[in-house]
Structure 1
Amino acid sequence: MTRLTGILLYSMGISVLLSGCAEMNNTEQTPTSDEFLISVLEYNGEGYALPYGKETDQIAEEYREEIEAKTIKFFQENYQTEIVVHNVVGALNGATIFVESVGEPHFYTNAFVPVDEKEKKVMTDQISADNFQVKNAIKGGLYHMIFSDEFKKLDKHFESLVADDVTGKTLESLQNVGGHGFQTPYYFISITNKETALEPVYELYMQNPEESVKHLRATFEDELFDATNLFINIQLFMAEEKEKPNTALFDELTQELEGMDEIPKGSYSFVLNDHFIDKQSASGMGEHSIDMVGHIIKE
């Protein structure tokens, strides 16, 4: 893995957990032990862990129902969005709450609840979220909504690949330890703070969550869209356990992507991993991974 990719994926969404739990395991810093590796086809998020979260995880589990109810209320009041809670994972001084939106715009994100280890208490009245992260998750879901035809073509392409040499993550892993905005088993959308074309779409949605897709699309500022501010981050895995990523296959998949027309606009990054995921960090990045960042720009 190149250093550039590691930095980009970290900053754009791989490890975008809240401040109390952002020190999640990083395979580039700490080599993954084979005992923590699991088939990407079997991984559902079980075994995921954050530093210093063992004790808070147990405490948070005792408050699970209250955490779920308060988190649902938090997203309704602050983002006019109905969500479902999939997982709660202990972290330093608190717990990370992994959620998924109900309906459209579709996205995954997370919130944070403080935990007092000494008092063995969870402060559910202090649930919070990183506003930039949640806002961009919603914007990514809105981008998918208003350009659904383009995304259908992209999705169909990846679905056809799965029958051959590569595969993606399981839906359960996205739900339980995803949290990266709009996400499918094959890619996720990340947006920089310089992106402005989606801003009026987001504002209209926040004013009226029932607004039609047609009206949302009409507010998209096409002339302001800069493909370098919106990333479609592709992450594929080798379908067979014994197969390792190879340059020939990587180049072939890259060329296919480059040659595709009428797919969503944006900068495409591409990572091809081997067959395994580190179940503690939910990352497939490893010594065998091959990557390409931002070389494919669709405008």
Structure 2
Amino acid sequence: MPMKRIFLLVLIGLSIFLGGCSSFFRDNEEEHIQKVYIRVQDYTGEEYRQPFGKKTDKIAEENRAVIEDATIKYFKETYKTDVKVHNMVGVLEGVKVFVESIGEPHFYTYAYVQIQNNKVLPHLIGAEKYKIQEAIQGGLYHMIFEEEFQKLDGYLESLAEEGRVTGKTKEALQNAGGLGFMTPYYFINMLSAEAAIKPVYDLYLRKPDASKKELRNAFAENLFDSENLSINIQLFMSDKGAEPSEEIFNRVTRDLEEMSGIPKGSYSFTLNDNLIQRETFQGVKDNSLRRSYPDYIVRD
């Protein structure tokens, strides 16, 4: 067989082989994406997992009633707040219990119950106390500035109604949120160091049934520092294959800079594609468009 013909046959075979490899790697990449990510509209938070939690996750589910009772009692006694338990996720030597407050101030947070030697120890329940304080403070801030937040909520809801962007599901917030006051479109992070809200927080712990007016009057407005309060807006593209839109990102950023009557604070804004990580509740990726620290949109 002439060498030229042999060379051509080798080239054809090599191209077929490389084409098959390319298809194989592409299929594997798509399969990996499907395992790691899910459309944000389909995400309920039931997929959320923590490292080394598979064993304790099973033990927690078998003792769900005991854990729920201990968690509800803990929040009522420590923070004068009624809560409902939405989800329990196993962690190393324990379980992470996601809760939602009943009524106002409204917030999502979590506590931990220890599991040792395959036994649930409901008396060993605790939490990162500064995070719960920040969650309650964020809920109180939203509560006493209700009108301002209604304007922000209305704006974000109108964006979603246009059909190009969306937010997280309510079930995702309940089962995997835990970030304080949350809506499908944003969460509030009020640092425990914020002096203006501290009198409101102290009043709430002393008098959980204090009226909204009493709580608002306790707010020390002259001490407010916008650096201690961030309102973190996170939107997703509605279509499965859509990349984050620079046009939408620029428009929302400009609106947040110019809009009147919205709450005071430091705003961050992230626009993601349509996918969210199943096990981590995270939507931010390399292709996300972001305006955040240290370049917050400051409204004061």
For Structure 1 versus Structure 2, the TM-score category normalised by the shorter chain is 0.7 to 0.9
Residue 297 of structure 2 aligns with which residue? 296
Aligned to 2:12: none
Letter in structure 2 aligned against 1:87: N
Q: What pairs up with 1:148-187 in 2 under 5 angstroms?
A: 148-164=146-162, 165-187=164-186
Secondary structure of 1:181's match? coil
The answer on whether the counterparts of 2:133 and 2:192 sit within 8 Å (CA) in structure 1 is no
Question: Counterpart in 1 of 2:260?
Answer: 261
Aligned to 1:51: 51
Q: How does 1:129-208 map to 2 (within 5 A)?
A: 129-164=127-162, 165-208=164-207
Who is 1:36 aligned against? 36
Gaps of 5+ in 1: 1-31
Counterparts of 1:194 and 1:135 in 2: how far apart (Å)?
Answer: 10
Distance 1:162 1:67 in 2: 37
1:49-128 to structure 2, matched below 5 A, reads 49-116=49-116, 119-128=117-126
Deviations 1:217-258 (A, max 9, x none): 001001000111100000100011111103222111111111
Q: What is the alpha-carbon distance in structure 1 between the residues aligned to residue 33 and residue 262 of structure 2?
A: 38
Q: Give the structure with higher Rg (CA).
A: 2
In the TM superposition, residue 286 of structure 1 has moved relative to its aligned partner by: 1.1
**TM-score normalised by L of structure 1:** 0.87
Q: What is the distance in 1 between the residues matched to 2:44 and 2:34?
A: 18
Q: Which runs of 5+ in 2 are unaligned?
A: 1-31
Distance 2:246 2:277 in 1: 23
Conserved? CA contact 2:49–2:280, under 8 Å: yes
Does the aligned pair in 1 maintain the 2:39–2:240 contact within 8 Å?
yes
Q: Secondary structure at the match of 1:263?
A: coil
The code of the aligned residue for 1:114 comes to Q
The 2-side partners of 1:199 and 1:220 are apart by 8
* Partners of 2:192 and 2:136 in 1: CA distance: 14
Q: Deviations over 1:2-50 (max 9, x none)?
A: xxxxxxxxxxxxxxxxxxxxxxxxxxxxxx8442211111100122110
Q: Sequence identity, in percent?
A: 50
The answer as to whether partners of 2:72 and 2:82 remain within 8 angstroms in 1 is: yes
Instruction: Report the Cα distance in structure 2 between the residues aligned to 1:279 and 1:108, rounded to whole angstroms.
Output: 19
Return the TM-score normalized by structure 2.
Answer: 0.87
Amino acid at match of 1:35: K
1:178 Cα offset (Å): 0.5
* Higher normalized contact order (CA 8 Å, seq sep 6+, divided by chain length): 1
